[in-house]
A and B are shown apart, each in its own frame.
Chain A
Amino acid sequence: MNIHRRTFLKSTLAAAAAGAFSSAAHADDPIGVASIHDLSGGLDIYGKPMVDALTLAVEEANGSGGLLGRQIKLIEYDTQSNMQLYTQFAQQAALKDKVAVVHGGITSASREVIRPVLDRFKTLYFYNTQYEGGVCDRNNFDTGVTPAQTVEKLVPYAMKKWGKKVYVVAADYNYGQITSQWVKKYVLENGGEVPSIDFFPLDVTNFGPTISKIQAAKPDFVWSALVGGAHISFYRQWAAAGMRSSIPMASTTFAVGNEHIVLSPEECNGMLICYNYFQDLKNPVNEAFVGKFHTRFGADYPNITELAMGTYQGFRLWAEAVKKAGSIDRMKVIEALESGISIDAPSGKVTIDPPTHHCILDVHIAEVSDKKLKVLEDFAQQKPADTAAVCNLIKNPNDNQQYVIKI
């Protein structure tokens, strides 16, 4: 390329002028909200519904006049199931786009990648996925359910139904490692035993030896904390070996990626799960929400997942706090959230728990039944007791770590 002195000067001047204009932020500029999710690669089964829910939440807010009289601009980043891109996009969102809040992260590994970045660049961060609990960071809000809200309910329910010996299979990274310890803790507390916990890297597809091992251990039921597309073959091979009829299964991850639709009913009927949200919840707020969601994304949308609802509720909580604070300033919004902001969400009432920055919300136990999730039992307004036992951000606002359970 030839660069002439004159054209170079012209373009430099133009760029400088543009910079000068854009740096003077106008009050009617849109508010930037970043979405950092995997929309391709092995984790897109989780990411797509999350971004759809976030898109709907932003459109709803803009349709009713925006926030503080300003429109909201959703800036979407696709991390392609690649951890390096999380760092890069978190930096871009914080430094280039200067967004008011980042909603994003799916796996716990990705959360731990972007959380320090957003801490450093002082950008508010919402992690909206059900996870293993224990994150204690004033800049971060976690709107998903944690083991004390779900595992604590599902373990005794399943043990009463099936028996006391529980074999655990889990994904081999921080989520599976920590969650399986919670499962073990609650099983022991309920008088049961855990003969073995087996971990699998995310790309393992051959579960034959493990299935033989499980049969040799003769558990009363199997607990799965497996994650991602490759691990779906565990359920297939389990059913193909004829095990589904003899040893039942409970899970903290199943159906979050719509596995119950990908698999045939013969491969997963009867499995027990426990989450905050199910599409078939009977309440007026949810029925209106599902109607709106189907109008926006088509009536044939497979299923509105737990993670999609977490993301929708996360955005709504943030928007509520912005209204209360009258500002998008990070500290003002955090203080507003710490006043115990509450919304009437499709999953029921959702309240921020100020000391932990987690949520108090309803949870439900459900059973997989012919590609649907049938709700069996409800537990109203569960507190994030696991994180609350170790984390108090009101007393120690400078605490910044993830507490890990020790048995």
Chain B
Amino acid sequence: MDLVAILAIQVVYAIASLALISVGLAIIFGMMRVINLAHGEFLMLGGYAAIVATSHGINIWLSMLVVAPIVVGLIGVIVERMIIRFLYGRMIDTMLATWGLSLFLVGLTTAIFGNTTVGISAPLGSLQIGAYRTSAYTLFVIAVAVVVLGAIFAAMRGTRFGLIARGTMQNANMAAALGVNPPWVYAVTFGIGAALSGLAGAVLAPVSGVFPTIGVAYVAKSFITVIGGGAAILSGTVSASVLFGTINQIATFATTPVFGEVALLAAAIVLIRLLPQGITGRFFRRGM
């Protein structure tokens, strides 16, 4: 029984971490149709921001939950202003540009921090469930994912900016005619997407450590989740994370991590074959 409980926590954790690493990409891709190949590097920068801030004496929670998203969000806005804004509507060109950006960021962080793994110990200690123990930090990651998804839902549904952002993404010309400034909306939305990636990278840093090329480990999974989820940002990310996270974690537990990854990828291929528009292309179509 306690093994079932611990396994359930692992599965929910896998879902939560998939949703966390994908949601920033989902916003940037879902709302602006920009394929951001530097997404993994935004996560990596979030991890470094948190670790550097912690080592300079800032409280670990503050550096993960506040410093990292702000730093990466600002980087996101700068990137949008300097590179992305010239390339809207040119999907292949944005892919090339963000891929170049990804290589640049990997090189830059390698030059600054060196190519070794750095990390911080996970706070919060451990948790006893029957005869088993697990890290209490796992539960914290799950909580962060829930709060982040809830906040995005509330912001898009309930705030004026959410309405303007959704309107701009739907029809930029019409929004401009109604007095909205689309470039400003794009920049802020891109910044928010980047900030969420930074937050995810920071929250996962104590679990996986950080090194300049860690983005590669994240980027494929986040793309699979976003594509598998389809057009709707929230319901797409959540439903794809639930599907892939469960499959991955149960296969990993039953066999080995290798087959866990294989199972995830196989599920993604089957899904895209059956639902080319992603899960939300057929189900939850009215979701956000």
Task: Please give the residue numbers on chain A whose beta carbons come within 8 Å of chain B beta carbons, in ascending order.
Answer: 40-42, 44-45, 172, 198-201, 203-213, 215-216, 229-230, 232-233, 236-237, 239-243, 246, 262-264, 266-267
Instruction: Evaluate contact between B132 and A209: CB separation under 8 angstroms.
Output: no
Candidates B17, B209, B216; contact of A232 at CB < 8 Å: B209
A359 to chain B, nearest CB (A): 29
Given contacts A40-B115, A41-B213, A205-B207, contact A212 B121 (CB under 8 A): no
8 additional A-B residue pairs with CB within 8 Å, beyond A41-B115, A241-B126, A263-B119: A44-B116, A200-B256, A205-B208, A206-B208, A212-B132, A216-B3, A237-B207, A240-B206
Contact, CB under 8 Å: B249 / A209: yes
In the complex, the 9 A-B pairs of residues with the closest C-beta atoms, listed nearest first: A242-B126, A205-B208, A240-B135, A229-B117, A240-B122, A209-B253, A209-B252, A242-B133, A241-B135
Chain B's interface size range is: 35 or more
Contact of B99 with A by CB under 8 A: no
In the assembled complex, which residues on chain B have CB atoms less than 8 Å from the CB atom of A211?
134
A230 to B138, CA, bound (A): 19
A240 adjacent to B257 (CB under 8 Å): no
Decide: B252 and A233 in contact? CB cutoff 8 A: no
The contact string, 1 if C-beta is below 8 Å from chain A, for chain B 1-30, is 001001100100110010000000000000
Q: How long is the Cα–Cα vector from A237 to B134 in the complex, in angstroms?
A: 9
Q: Is the CB of B131 closer than 8 A to any CB of chain A?
A: yes
Q: Are A240 and B208 in contact (CB under 8 A)?
A: no
- Nearest residue (CB) in B for A264 is B121
Q: Would you call B223 an interface residue if the criterion is a C-beta within 8 Å of the partner chain's C-beta atoms?
A: no
CA distance A236 to B204 in the complex (A): 12
Q: How far is the CA of A44 from the CA of B113 in the complex (A)?
A: 13
Please judge, given known A-B contacts A203-B216, A212-B10, A212-B132, whether A233 and B207 are in contact too, CB under 8 Å: yes
Can you offer 15 A-B residue contacts whose CB atoms are under 8 A? A199-B258, A208-B138, A209-B252, A209-B257, A212-B7, A212-B132, A215-B131, A230-B217, A236-B119, A236-B121, A236-B122, A241-B135, A242-B133, A262-B119, A263-B119
What residue of chain A has the Cβ atom nearest to residue B132's Cβ?
Answer: A215
1/0 per residue B102-118: CB within 8 Å of A? 00000000100001111
Given contacts A241-B133, A246-B133, contact A212 B3 (CB under 8 A): yes
Q: With CB as the reference atom, state the residue of chain B lying closest to A205.
A: B208
B211 at the interface (CB under 8 A from A): yes
| A239 touching B208 in the complex, CB below 8 Å, given contacts A201-B257, A212-B253, A215-B131 | no
Is A42 in contact with B118, judged by CB distance below 8 angstroms?
A: no
Question: How far is it, in angstroms, between the C-alpha of A204 and the C-alpha of B221 when the chains are bound?
Answer: 13
Chain A CB within 8 A of B137 CB: yes
B11 to chain A, nearest CB (A): 9
Distance between Cα atoms of A205 and B6 in the complex (Å) = 19
Interface centre among B7, B110, B115, B216 (most CB of A within 10 A): B115
Please measure, in the bound complex, the distance between the C-alpha atom of A241 and the C-alpha atom of B126, giving whole angstroms. Answer: 5
Chain A residue nearest to B134 in the complex (CB): A241
